[in-house]
Amino acid sequence: MKYTGILNRDISAMVARTGHFDRIVISDAGFPIPAGVPCIDLTMGPNLPKVPDVLKMLTLELPIEQFWFAEEISPSKEARAAELSLIMPKAECIPLPHAEFKKLAYGAVGVIRTGDFHAYGNVMVASGVAY
């Protein structure tokens, strides 16, 4: 049994299978999961857990090279970029239109669904390498 890092066995397995530049989506509660993309549903209730909570845990075990989010987010894409860059300071930040984000999600290795009610709160990360 693990006692540090990500304890969820399905997320741990997803991280272990992830290769360089594979993408994982951490979604809000309402994100349309692309057909054929595996989904790990962590939803416990409204805003439980939130996307940033999951991202903080993910960064403990996955080197993140880039991340994407919807530029329609409020209060602003600049505020979201700053918030996410604090969690992933070495990763390249790429805001894009939500429609493009959804298209990019079709190539993800998986989706981790949260209970986050923040509209356009989804984040997609690309795995880096540990060396």
Q: Which of 17, 20, 90, 103 is catalytic?
A: 20
Region for 95 from its dihedrals, namely left if φ exceeds 0, alpha if ψ lies in -120 to 50, beta otherwise: beta
Strands 64-70 and 92-96: parallel
CB 61 within 8 A of CB 127: no
Name the residue among 34, 40, 44, 23 with its Cα closest to residue 94. 23
Query: Has 98 been annotated as catalytic?
Result: no
Q: Which residues are catalytic?
A: 20
